[in-house]
Amino acid sequence: MGNLSNRDTDRHIDRMAVPEVVINRLPQYVRVLKSLISDEIQVVNSQLLGKKLQITPTQIRKDLSYFGRFGKQGRGYSVNNLLEELKQILGLNYEWNVVLVGVGRLGRAILSYPGFNPDGFHLIAAIDNNPDLIGQEFNGLLVSSIDDLSSLVMKHNISIAIVSVPTTQTQQVIDRVIECGIESILNYAPTTPQVPTHVKITNIDPVISLQSMTYHLVN
Judged against a pLDDT cut of 80, whether residue 8 lies above it is answered with no
Q: How far apart are CA 25 and CA 21, in angstroms?
A: 6
The reply to whether 27 and 78 lie within a common domain is: yes
The 10s digit of each residue's pLDDT in 197-206 is 999 999 998 8
Q: What is the CATH number of the domain that holds 28?
A: 1.10.10.10
Q: How far apart are CA 111 and CA 92, in angstroms?
A: 20
List, in order, residues 6 or more apart from 68 with CB less than 8 Å away.
Answer: 11, 12, 13
What is the tally of structural domains in the chain?
2
Q: How far apart are the first and last CA of the chain?
A: 47
Judged against a pLDDT cut of 90, whether residue 2 lies above it is answered with no
Q: In this predicted structure, what is the pLDDT of residue 154?
A: 96
What average pLDDT does this structure show over 180-195? 95
Q: How far apart are CA 116 and CA 110, in angstroms?
A: 9
Instruction: Tell me the percentage of the chain whose pLDDT exceeds 90.
Output: 78
The reply to whether 108 and 199 lie within a common domain is: yes
Q: In this predicted structure, what is the pLDDT of residue 72?
A: 66
Q: How far apart are CA 160 and CA 152, in angstroms?
A: 12
The reply to whether 24 and 109 lie within a common domain is: no
Judged against a pLDDT cut of 60, whether residue 4 lies above it is answered with no
The reply to whether 54 and 114 lie within a common domain is: no
Judged against a pLDDT cut of 50, whether residue 5 lies above it is answered with no
Position 129 confidence tier, pLDDT thresholds 50, 70, 90: very high
Q: What are phi and psi of 190, to 5 degrees?
A: -75, 65
The reply to whether 42 and 110 lie within a common domain is: no
**40 domain residue, yes or no:** yes
Chain-centre distance for alpha carbon 66: 20
The reply to whether 201 and 111 lie within a common domain is: yes
> Dihedral sign, CA of 31, 36, 40, 44?
negative
The reply to whether 192 and 134 lie within a common domain is: yes
Position 209 confidence tier, pLDDT thresholds 50, 70, 90: confident
The reply to whether 202 and 105 lie within a common domain is: yes
Global pTM reads: 0.86
**216 domain residue, yes or no:** no
Least confident segment among 17-26, 71-80, 129-138: 71-80
Last residue of a domain, one of 70, 90, 110: 90
Q: In this predicted structure, what is the pLDDT of residue 15?
A: 61
**218 domain residue, yes or no:** no
Mean pLDDT of the chain: 90
**26 domain residue, yes or no:** yes
The reply to whether 204 and 102 lie within a common domain is: yes
- Domain that includes residue 137, residue range: 96-208
Least confident segment among 51-60, 115-124, 165-174, 194-203: 115-124
Q: How far apart are CA 120 and CA 180, in angstroms?
A: 22
- CA R_g for the chain: 20
The reply to whether 34 and 64 lie within a common domain is: yes
Last residue of a domain, one of 90, 112, 140: 90
The 10s digit of each residue's pLDDT in 68-125 is 888 666 678 999 999 999 999 999 999 999 999 999 999 999 999 988 888 889 999 9
What average pLDDT does this structure show over 12-31? 85
Judged against a pLDDT cut of 50, whether residue 185 lies above it is answered with yes
**194 domain residue, yes or no:** yes
